[in-house]
Structure 1
């Protein structure tokens, strides 16, 4: 196993080695790492809901006991699915244990040999892996480049049975938003299915990224979201037509062959949904303040601070740590250009945001 040690040493030499940081506090605006209290500017807990805990949810026990198709389908699962479908303006929704499993499962179920998938080059790793597992032809188009995508569709679509256009709505490392209005038009023109990963949009830009474009999902639209970010718990959901839900229940391997989400977690998610509207207003106010403060034109709670190289990212991250801020360095292969990914939450104060920028400039 010497090759493992050799590869790890190579990562260290390139400033690409990673290690786990252990929290001894609940998730939140302030966290404790190695006995040190830090202001957290790295979390996806955009609405500060991850630390919420309702004793009432404990009545469901600690586990679900089986997959949904065996005896793990609880009434509260279906209650949350109905609520999420309502919020996303779709006919139905289906819960998954994680966003990764939702993306991998849905893409590999809807596409196969003889099909083609058009994927934005900055899509999340779970989308990339779903495309690979599908065994479909995968065509990657330049980031948000609708003209190139249209050219590729006009050239390739006719050669394949089914066509999928897959994109993040809010991109997790850059914070920008996909041109969903134009993608929606293209999926109609070229008889395609549009799959949108709404993970970093739900509860941040609105209940759905489609609200930004005054769009209403239709039967060839699939919206994938997560409960583990702004909603503060765990799990994911796929929103679309009733026919799609029925198909996934019968064909999607990452739904069929896995234990269902614990009903206690589902119960907590339903409780957290009630808190979203007011906290989302505060978050959007903080986003606007930080945008004006930094000049970084992010459309979401994610603000990328691009640096020269991997070593510079590590040095700046350590400098902020020493000054009481937690903002980890993000390096390849997660991104092409190293950066600090600053994420704003509804709980941050203006003073804390100003102090962060002051520390960065020191």
Structure 2
């Protein structure tokens, strides 16, 4: 046919351009050897307690939810997990989603509408960015961690916005730094704004108990604060969640299209995540092992003259261009050491890096 392949021409051109720039990607199997790519921060992926909980849930409720939770797909493991997450994070309620990406995109696009304003850190995750685009709210991006600029922008634009929301990450996934939560709370309260914190990489990792960034600062979420997290990192399962007030949960159930029009999280994943929460609450050695490995990794990088903080399990080694990052990753892989080569658009231009993570 004369038109065969025409719709794909643009795709081919884009793929070729990515290859020339050193930005082509491929899927990577779980490696043998030393794995510094994993987000299995507590080493729970292989724990029999999680596998047994998932198997029992599959035998009792099936391998999938069978439909939207509004149309018969609501299962006891969902509700038990939500109750446990809310208690663990210190909120009234929680709502689980099939993935962490979906939790952010579905919640943010529902909480914000045209006429609202959202202030977003420049290094926020892609799922946050896409959720904000879907919302049609006015978007104001402030430089990473620059709360003075956030304050100036709020003073300038907040009066014209019906609702204001500030969105940050508790632990930034590519740099491993922790947000200044006390100052962000003060800013949000001063400007009558909602504070939305993506705690995907703080959950299960931050001292003193692994309960996330609020606990790290000795704080509990207020009514104007929302805590998002994932089940797929330290909790070694699949899915995402939003912890909030009971009224906000009800709002999301009614207005979050990503929740309404999706099949519910599969019961085995919910049961496995609940088992992980129970382990983390009862076995303090898990978190202690992670902390020791973070300290050891930071000391090793310092001995090489590289900057590092032991507060989180994420250790970036910035190497500028994508070719350098790929070459460094290959060099290590040839020696049985596996660290991720992270390139734009996952990180800003000129900051391609090795991203190494440690686990318990």
- On whether the aligned pair clears a TM of 0.5, the verdict is yes
Within 2, Cα distance between the matches of 1:298 and 1:172?
15
- Identify the residue that residue 3 of structure 2 maps to in structure 1: none
- Identify the residue that residue 305 of structure 2 maps to in structure 1: none
Query: How far has the Cα of 1:21 moved from its partner?
Result: 2.0
Q: Choose 288-297 or 76-85, whichever is displaced more.
A: 288-297
Q: Secondary structure at the match of 1:345?
A: coil
- Identify the residue that residue 5 of structure 1 maps to in structure 2: 12
Match of 1:38 among 33, 40, 58: 33
Within 1, Cα distance between the matches of 2:329 and 2:273?
32
Within 1, Cα distance between the matches of 2:153 and 2:136?
19
Contact 2:77 2:271 in 1 (8 A): yes
Match of 1:228 among 220, 228, 232: 232
Indicate yes or no: 2:281 matched with 1:292.
Answer: no
Query: How far has the Cα of 1:158 moved from its partner?
Result: 0.8
Q: Secondary structure at the match of 1:20?
A: coil
Query: How far has the Cα of 1:57 moved from its partner?
Result: 3.2
Within 2, Cα distance between the matches of 1:196 and 1:96?
16
Q: Secondary structure at the match of 1:165?
A: strand
Normalising by the residue count of structure 1, what TM-score does the alignment of the two structures yield? 0.90
Within 2, Cα distance between the matches of 1:328 and 1:335?
13
Q: Secondary structure at the match of 1:307?
A: strand
Query: How far has the Cα of 1:215 moved from its partner?
Result: 1.4
Unaligned runs of 5+ in 2: 1-7, 303-307
- The 5 A counterparts of 1:128-277 are 128-205=129-206, 206-276=210-280, 277=284
Normalising by the residue count of structure 2, what TM-score does the alignment of the two structures yield? 0.90
Contact 1:308 1:338 in 2 (8 A): yes
Q: Secondary structure at the match of 2:241?
A: strand
Contact 2:343 2:353 in 1 (8 A): yes
Match of 1:320 among 326, 329, 332: 332
Query: How far has the Cα of 1:298 moved from its partner?
Result: 4.9
Indicate yes or no: 2:287 matched with 1:280.
Answer: yes
Query: How far has the Cα of 1:6 moved from its partner?
Result: 2.3
Within 2, Cα distance between the matches of 1:298 and 1:119?
26
Unaligned runs of 5+ in 1: 24-30, 32-36, 347-362
Indicate yes or no: 2:118 matched with 1:117.
Answer: yes
Q: Choose 194-203 or 272-281, whichever is displaced more.
A: 272-281
Q: Deviations over 1:315-362 (max 9, x none)?
A: 11001110001112100111011000000000xxxxxxxxxxxxxxxx
Within 1, Cα distance between the matches of 2:144 and 2:44?
31
Within 2, Cα distance between the matches of 1:324 and 1:107?
41
Q: Deviations over 1:10-47 (max 9, x none)?
A: 11111111111234xxxxxxx3xxxxx32110011111
Runs of 4+ deviating beyond 4 Å: none
Indicate yes or no: 2:313 matched with 1:301.
Answer: yes
The count of aligned residue pairs is 334
Within 1, Cα distance between the matches of 2:258 and 2:22?
35
Cα-Cα RMSD? 1.2
- Identify the residue that residue 57 of structure 1 maps to in structure 2: 57
Q: Deviations over 1:268-318 (max 9, x none)?
A: 111122222431121011111211221312531100000131111111100
- Identify the residue that residue 29 of structure 2 maps to in structure 1: 22
Q: Deviations over 1:156-178 (max 9, x none)?
A: 11111000000011000000011
Within 1, Cα distance between the matches of 2:14 and 2:345?
15
Query: How far has the Cα of 1:103 moved from its partner?
Result: 0.6
Within 1, Cα distance between the matches of 2:189 and 2:211?
24
- The 5 A counterparts of 1:62-141 are 62-141=63-142
Within 1, Cα distance between the matches of 2:40 and 2:276?
12
Within 1, Cα distance between the matches of 2:34 and 2:324?
21
